[in-house]
Amino acid sequence: MKTAIVILNWNGEKLLEQFLPSVVNFSKGLATVYVADNASTDKSIPYILENYPTVEIIKNKSNGGYAKGYNDALQAIDADIYCLLNSDVAVTENWLPPILKTFKNEENTGIIQPKILDYKSKSNFEYAGAAGGFIDLFGYPYCRGRVFNHLEKDKQQFNDTKEIFWASGACLFIRSKIYHQVNGLDEDYFAHQEEIDLCWRVQNIGYKVKCVGSSLVYHVGGATLQEKNPQKTYLNFRNSLLNVVKNVPKKWFLFVIFSRLILDGIAGIKFLLELRPIHTLAILKAHFSFYKNFFKFLSKRKKLQKKQDYNLHTSIVWQYFVLDRKKFEELN
Res 221: pLDDT: 80
Tell me the three state secondary structure of residue 32: strand
Give me the torsion for CA of 23, 26, 32, 35, rounded to 10°. Answer: 10
Res 171: pLDDT: 98
- Show me where the domains of the chain are located: 3-219, 230-330
CA gap 280, 303 in Å, rounded: 34
Q: What is the pTM of this model?
A: 0.93
CA gap 152, 146 in Å, rounded: 6
Cβ atoms of 216 and 95 closer than 8 Å:
yes
Closest CA to 128 of 25, 27, 224: 224
CA gap 135, 128 in Å, rounded: 14
Helices marked H in 106-252: 176-181, 194-204, 230-247
* CA 222 remoteness from chain centre: 13
The dihedral sign for the CA sequence 266, 272, 274, 279? positive
Strand partners, 133: 143, 166
CATH architecture under which domain 3-219 falls: Alpha-Beta Complex (3.90)
Tens of each residue's pLDDT in the chain, 332 residues: 999 999 999 999 999 999 999 999 999 999 999 999 999 999 999 999 999 999 999 999 999 889 999 999 999 999 999 999 999 999 999 999 999 999 999 999 999 999 999 999 999 999 999 999 999 989 899 999 999 989 999 999 999 999 999 999 999 999 999 999 999 999 999 888 999 999 999 998 999 999 999 999 999 986 455 567 899 999 999 999 999 999 888 888 899 999 999 999 999 999 999 999 999 999 999 999 999 999 999 999 866 556 556 666 689 999 999 999 999 999 97
